């Protein structure tokens, strides 16, 4: 399996933080900004490119021959769904939503008085059906929202990343599949720890820019990190 971890495009909350350095006014499940939509279109176009004159037998560590993505997954947060929809649409592939791929904390807002994060429902099946009809949802997503649970504590993040890793390897680990997973910057760190079977340590942080790409190849004899946080397909003004 070749696994491509892709962060969503710039969200309204990302833009808020860049402007103010604060989470005051954050949305529990923000949309992409106009810049984020441009980023999503560009990463989709980049993943779509192929060079039929390149012989993959000469190795393809920079995907010069193309990506050949076979599966596209995304978290159920709107910014990731929107990014995944752009990618899947460009590649002519189904988009499959995964509950375990969401950002740390889940869907929440701080209590206005205490500041304690309060879990919220998340988007409903009818919302996704109306806005992203190409998205294949887990059967458990209904009209009560897909989250509907308390704020996710830090101690829950690594076990979730390990659970998602186990699922990905069970589905694709011993195959030639090329899997794109649209996820989030904070959860990416837990996922890297799980995928590489290393301890999670907040003093070590893997940066993933909006629509940055990390490629990890899994084979029986070894796991190879081919590249991390690739964003050379973006113009300078769109790197966030």
- Write out pLDDT tens, residues 115-145: 999 999 999 999 999 999 999 999 999 999 9
Residue 65 contacts residue 57 (beta carbons within 8 Å): no
Give residue-wise pLDDT tens across range 138-190.
Answer: 999 999 999 999 999 999 999 999 999 999 999 999 999 999 999 999 999 99
Choose among 109, 193, 113: nearest CA to 151. Answer: 109
CA–CA separation, 9 and 62 (whole Å):
22
Statement: residue 192 has pLDDT above 90: yes
φ, ψ (nearest 5 deg) of residue 55: -90, 110
Query: What structural domains and CATH numbers belong to the chain?
Result: 2-238 (3.40.50.1240)
Q: Which residues contact 225 (CB under 8 A, 6 or more apart)?
A: 196, 214, 215, 216
CA–CA separation, 38 and 156 (whole Å):
33
Give CA angle at 190 (143, 26), nearest 5°.
50
């Amino acid at each position: 399996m070749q696994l491509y971890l892709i962060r969503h495009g710039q969200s309204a909350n990302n833009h808020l933080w860049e402007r103010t350095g604060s989470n005051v006014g954050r949305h529990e499940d923000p949309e992409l900004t106009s810049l984020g939509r441009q980023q999503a279109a560009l990463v989709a176009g980049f993943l779509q490119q192929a060079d039929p004159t390149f012989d993959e037998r000469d190795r393809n560590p920079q995907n010069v021959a193309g990506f050949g993505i076979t599966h596209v997954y995304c978290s159920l947060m709107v910014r990731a769904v929107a990014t995944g929809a752009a990618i899947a649409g460009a590649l002519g592939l189904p988009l499959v939503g995964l509950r375990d791929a969401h950002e740390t904390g889940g869907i929440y807002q701080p209590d206005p008085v205490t500041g304690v994060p309060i879990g919220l429902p998340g988007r409903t099946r009818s919302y996704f059906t109306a806005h992203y009809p190409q998205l294949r949802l887990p059967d458990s997503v209904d009209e009560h929202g897909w989250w509907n649970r308390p704020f996710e504590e830090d101690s829950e993040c690594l076990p979730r990343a390990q659970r998602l890793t186990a699922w990905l390897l069970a589905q694709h680990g011993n195959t030639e599949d090329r899997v794109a997973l649209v996820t989030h910057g904070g959860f990416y760190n837990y996922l890297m720890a799980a995928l590489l079977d290393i301890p999670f340590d907040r003093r070590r942080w893997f940066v993933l820019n909006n629509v940055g790409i990390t490629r990890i190849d899994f084979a029986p004899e070894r796991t190879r990190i081919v590249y991390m946080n690739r964003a050379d397909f973006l113009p300078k003004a769109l790197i966030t």
